[in-house]
Amino acid sequence: MVVLRALPVAPMTVTAGQIFSPVLLLCLAQAACLAVIAAVTRAVTPVAAVGTLLALVPLVWTAVAVDNTVFLLLPHRPRPAGSPAGIQIAARSYLIAIVKLIAITVALVGAGVSGYAVWAMTGGVFTAVTITVAIVLAATAWVWTWLASLAFAAFDVTRDVPA
């Protein structure tokens, strides 16, 4: 973290750079799985596969950005080997999981409502729905990246973090 904070670039650039690699790897793995499913079952049309990937990238970006934001706001030290895990660690883990679940749910509900509205207005044009969902998810991803960059800029590496 000290090295990242010392870089002469804007916090948003560092944050986006830190999010990009895991998103790329996750999306490549998911695209490969989708390609295998499409090839084996022949139930996925090429248009549906492209639409899925178009919406998948900002959704994965949002998930990773939420994870980074939560970590930067609630950092923790690894426990020494053999030390018992107390109720505080379990409660913290549950809290973080709930925050992530709520954030992803809000993103998906927003995208779903927007997609449904466009579907109703266009009479079910798949391309319009897909683009709308991707735009809403991309906006959500940007917001979470911005929040992560704010948390990164405010992160104090000299502050002691409670275990």
Domain boundaries defined on the chain: 8-76+87-154
Please check whether residue 34 is in contact with residue 53, taking contact to mean a CB–CB distance below 8 angstroms.
Answer: yes
Q: What is the pLDDT of residue 7?
A: 76
From 3-17, 37-51, 77-91, the region with the lowest mean pLDDT: 77-91
Task: Specify the 3-state DSSP secondary structure of 130.
Answer: helix
Average pLDDT over residues 49-71: 90
pLDDT tens digits along 4-41: 777 788 889 999 999 999 999 999 999 999 889 888 98
Burial code of 76-98, b = ≥16 C-beta within 10 A, e = fewer? eeeeeeeeeeeeeeeeeeeebee
Residue for token pair 């779903």: 112
Full-model pTM: 0.83
pLDDT per residue as tens digits for the range 96-126: 889 889 999 999 999 999 999 999 999 989 8
Q: Which residue has the tokens 């969902």?
A: 133
Q: Which amino acid, one-letter code, is at 160? A: D
62 touches 144 (CB < 8 A): yes
